[in-house]
Amino acid sequence: MLLFLCCHPALSPASQIALTLRAVGGLTTAEIARAFLVPEATMTRRITRAKQTVKDSGVPFGMPADAERAARLDAVLHALYLIFNEGYATTSGPHLQRADLTAEAIRLTRVVHRLLPADGEVTGLLALMLLTDARRAARTGPDGLPVPMAEQDRSLWDADRIAEGVALVSAALPHGETGAYQLQAAIAAVHDEARSADETDWPQITALYEVLLQVSDTPVVRLNHVVALAMVHGPRAGLARLDRLAADGLVVDDHRLPSVRAHLLEMAGDRAGAREAFTLAAHRATSLPQQRYLNARAARLG
């Protein structure tokens, strides 16, 4: 089904993914737009044009030829990745996460992995999902607000999922070219294997992000790299790198940029600056639990 939806020859890969997210993931246009870091109006136009292109082309959906299958598989994996991300951290609504979306993304990725067990990126994506979803029970408090990883009760983490994810990524990494999903899974494994936040191997995570940047230089990866750098070299080093990242138009209006800035300023002892950044992040956040959490952090600093 996924390969079928992602294989219309008249559509660009981005358009294929957007239509797949609507058809398979059930995501709204607003959620898809936030996944692509574009305005909702822009995504509405893209989806409308894509549907019209399919209609005008007269070409039915169909499985790709063998020569095209690798490129089409990339679109499938990206669609699954975005479905999982929306379930892991919903971008709107009253809840922080949607277990139905993460479960469906994992189920579909398991199907692809059964069909392509030797594909390193399929294995890496499944490992990444399992290692990330393993923390789900500890990610929210009784009030429904997010709990930062450093403050989570790690006894609530799913040990079976961690073990399966670590085994998958360990098997995939030594074979063939290392892709973005394998590297992200390796980073997640380092987090999950630390017995406490203080024991997290941040130098190794920083090194993995530097390799990941060579494979997938995206604004979100750069932002996560900033956090890792700050944990190794101190908040001021992270803030200096963050100032350069702030010029990137893809994240300038996203809540994650001021949220990271707020955490680093708080680490550096600048309470007033951190309070202002948390307030700005809350204003930009579209998820209600995120808004409440960020406003609470700002109020605490007041």
Query: Is the Cβ–Cβ distance between 182 and 137 less than 8 Å?
Result: no
| More confident site: 291 or 49 | 291
Q: What is the pLDDT, as a whole number, of residue 193? A: 97
Q: 1 falls in which pLDDT band (50, 70, 90)? A: very low
Average pLDDT value for residue range 198-215: 97
Extract the tokens encoding 68: 């095209």
| More confident site: 17 or 140 | 140
Average pLDDT value for residue range 71-87: 84
Q: Is 50 exceeded by the pLDDT of residue 5? A: no
| More confident site: 103 or 56 | 103
Q: 286 falls in which pLDDT band (50, 70, 90)? A: confident
Average pLDDT value for residue range 162-181: 91
Query: Is the Cβ–Cβ distance between 118 and 42 less than 8 Å?
Result: no
CB under 8 Å to 302, separation ≥6 — which residues?
275
Question: Phi then psi for 284, rounded to 5 degrees?
Answer: -85, -25
d(CA 258, CA 279): 9
CA torsion through residues 74, 77, 82, 85, sign: negative
d(CA 4, CA 192): 35
Q: Is 90 exceeded by the pLDDT of residue 70? A: no
Query: Is the Cβ–Cβ distance between 183 and 206 less than 8 Å?
Result: no
Per-residue buried b or exposed e for 62-72, using 16+ beta carbons within 10 Å of the residue's own CB: eebeeeeeeeb
Q: Is 60 exceeded by the pLDDT of residue 27? A: yes
Q: What is the pLDDT, as a whole number, of residue 63? A: 58
d(CA 271, CA 48): 46
Residues of the chain above pLDDT 90, percent: 55
Say how many C-beta atoms besides its own lie within 10 A of residue 198's C-beta: 7
Q: Is 60 exceeded by the pLDDT of residue 7? A: no
Indicate the CATH number of 213-302 among 1.10.3450, 1.25.40, 1.10.3470, 2.60.40.
1.25.40
Reference 208, options 242, 245, 181, 172; nearest CA is 181
d(CA 40, CA 11): 20
Q: What is the pLDDT, as a whole number, of residue 73? A: 82
Q: What is the pLDDT, as a whole number, of residue 44? A: 79
Give the predicted TM-score (pTM) of the model: 0.82
| More confident site: 35 or 208 | 208
CB under 8 Å to 4, separation ≥6 — which residues?
61, 62, 63
Q: Is 70 exceeded by the pLDDT of residue 11? A: no
Q: What is the pLDDT, as a whole number, of residue 28? A: 73
CB under 8 Å to 204, separation ≥6 — which residues?
190
Output DSSP code: residue 256: H
| More confident site: 37 or 32 | 32
| More confident site: 56 or 276 | 276
Least confidently predicted of 21-30, 101-110, 183-192, 209-218 = 21-30
Least confidently predicted of 87-101, 161-175, 239-253 = 239-253
Q: Is 50 exceeded by the pLDDT of residue 4? A: no
Average pLDDT value for residue range 251-273: 92
- With tokens 């993304």, the residue in question is 105
CATH fold for domain 1-57+67-93: Arc Repressor Mutant, subunit A (1.10.10)
Enumerate the domain spans of the chain. Answer: 1-57+67-93, 117-200, 213-302
Q: What is the pLDDT, as a whole number, of residue 206? A: 98
- With tokens 């995120």, the residue in question is 290
Q: Is 80 exceeded by the pLDDT of residue 51? A: no
